[in-house]
Structure 1
Amino acid sequence: MYSIVDIETTGNGIKGNRITEISIFKFDGHEIVDEFTSLVNPECEIPYFITGLTGIDNAMVRDAPKLEEIAPKILQITSDTIFVAHSVNFDYNVIKNEFKGIGLEFSRKKLCTVRLSRKLLPGYNSYSLGKLCSAVGIPLTDRHRARGDAHATVLLFHKLLRTPDAEPVFKTFLNARSQEATFPPALPKKEFEKLPATPGVYYFKDAKGKIIYVGKAIHIKKRVLSHFYDKTTKEIALCGETAFLDFEETGSELIALLLESSEIKKHYPKYNRAQKRNIQQYGIFSYEDRNGILHLAFNKIKMVPSPLAIFYSPTECRIFMEAFCEANGLCPKYCHLQENITSCSHYKIKQCMGICTDLAHLEAYNNRVLQAILTLKNSSSDYFLKLKGRTEEEMAFVSVVNGMYAGYGFVPSDIQVKEPTDLDFYIIPQKNTLETQRLVESFARKNSDRIIEVSQEKLGAW
């Protein structure tokens, strides 16, 4: 037994959507055995553009029953049935959320006539209800009203039940473990099946092939599937527009992150919101106090005119300062890793060669600070990051020139790399941005073993 459903709503996103009309036909596979249709008072204003589409205005629903008044009838007529709708996830999730709001649970097995039609009636340009019904000769009256659309869906469903190979297709779609009902209605399964289980960047495209979302993943296939299971308003809207998928393998997460950033700025996809925020920078600086002691500290970049090094979070600054302080025998107190103390007792740096308790060695300590600063300034600004390739037969790399991200590339493993120019043929130049600079520098600090320094036109151990 099936309950074939259509709803009209206020159109304010899935979680904010309120039902204004509902129509349910109880169908046994041969004929309609029961029907329930009703306007619903959404208890909120109906937007003008929705009224223009459906014809339902505030006056029409003012005296209509509220959802809690008709909820028992909806539960009764759909009980022990399979919930069927055109683009079923929309109707089902709106009803489920509305019921949750009045303290009731709504759970039914479901079937989507869009996905069934794509499988059993292939080859049509559009699978929207109006265009599909017109193409297959199904009458559709009162378009964008719940009863008219629900009745047309009944006729379409009747046709689908009687197409060749309908039985195994229906069984597959009803299998609880099947991913079919989860896929966006306009997305052919073959689009998902072509995705690899490797790191890279993936693209969601609409019916015209326009990129509407770019993402990165360590496991592309698994990450894309997670979008289909996500029931937030944004994800449901994204999946509702997705008709094609594309991808580019990168071999490593770092290159995936860099490529994602570049592609977002290139295409400005509709559903990408990340990387449109301002990134706060922090700078390390030195100063001399009234006792003549040289300090190292960090602050927001606008407060640091000539930073010795730039970072992208206070945590990154602190981690670097701890390592720098320990490596150069500096005092945690005067590196501002501890505040309001007379002598340092840092949890990590156990042996302090500083002057926190003895100012007699002021000159020697300041010289050590100056030497550490000099080392920091003279550190190589040209280097490569050696990374895993897309296959076993290649290596990947990220190029940094004059401290700036310059691009990435892939080089065959059997190529001998001795000089920087050996990689010129393989590099894919990229524009440096604040985001990519942050990604590269953060990775380099955490993965020093991946750095191949460039010195006097030679490479370190490639």
Structure 2
Amino acid sequence: MFSTIPSYVILDLETTGATPSYDRITEIALIRFEYGIETQRWQTLVNPGVSIPSFISRLTGITNDMVQGAPTFEDVASVLYDYLDGAVLAAHNVRFDYGFLKSEYQRLGAVLRQKVMCTVKLSRTLYPHHDGHSLDAILARHGLACSARHRAMGDVELVVAYVELAKQELGETAVLDAVDNLMHGPSLPPGLDSEFLGDIPDSPGVYLFYGANELPLYIGRSVALRSRVLSHFSGDHASVRDMQIGQTIKRVEWIETAGELGALLLEARLIRDRQPVYNRKLRAHKLFSLSVAAGLNQFPMVRVVSEEEIEPDVFEHLFGLFRSKRGAMKALREIIKGQKLCPRVIGIECGKGACFSSQLQQCEGVCAGQEKPELHYLRLKLALMPYRLKPWPYPGKIGVREQNATTGHVQLHVFQDWCHLKTVEDENDLQDVLTTRNSPDFDLDTYKLLQHHLKTCTDVISYEREDIHFGERPGPLMKSAGQPRQA
């Protein structure tokens, strides 16, 4: 096996589900190696203290009757710790097994800290041309046999067999070099404790880098938190910003979300609220838009309005969203020039009579009586139409549901008039949002994000009344495709 590692344990767990925070271990099996030679093996059923779901029993063959007389995790915790002591913990998708073990020890008031090595990542490194790297995929591609698949010791023995076969196919040196590279890991900044690595999940969420005080240096998001955080410390891909962060970072915090949308929304809110020094793109900016007069006799015909006047109920008269007044004026001038509109009638030039652009034949002459005002106004509206802000397509508030397929984590993101009201995880919080009259500020990033997400998302619940009761429609954690109204 991994003869360059003095001590390591190949381990597998069976559990009642996929979430360490409330699911429990039902079986443990391990084989311990010293310098590549097997020295110990151990397995035991574990009474989880909760009922095993029927679909889990069908998968593993472990029933409630089988674990009724088995020891609890507390009973075997010290024995297991002795097997793990001083060893590298290796498993197929080791984050799953390690997460459950840490949670079980934490419930006992103890802390488990192990160096880990993932044999899924090892498979991806050794066989990059293969798509699948699950144990079932490895069984199929290598023609291995396993008489006790989805039982802990059966899966441990399968991992051992697969590594030995990889040595035969690829050579022992190639396998051991791959293990060394996986074990080496990234070069962490000197002020950062390496122990934090084992705690970061590879699930969607937001991460925050801190220096010596409570103000974050940088806030980011990812669908795979641990991988993204570690990428900041990869010497091969370090940017100037990452190098600057590396010189001052002292700790990392993270917040898990159910999916990518939740991570994007949370990241945007935290950056706006906390203004980290190394974030630029999502930091707060003033917004401007072009407001078109409702009739021909108003002057100016187009105004640049600031965010105080950018409200969803007047979106039919607003065109474009800009980060500066200068940007809005530049866009308007380009439209006027491209469509031969009159800058004087529109209101960006002073004076009376024919404008200078008409003398250059860059205006169709509405200012000189050569074009009907009604036609000019129509051409202006048509030219601005691609910039028109999209009205809110629902009759009221909506909820966009996300669920993490691995952890089961569910969140409902509530919106109204393109504004994110709140992200909730239970019905009481949702009821509060639905019955409270919210007046959040319009945000450009949320507007763009939600427009993009709603193009493909069907997991939307439309709440047509603010006084709605849960008995009147699907609950917040149920899937229900909301129907937008016609714009």
TM-score range, shorter chain: 0.3 to 0.5
TM-score normalised according to structure 1 size: 0.47
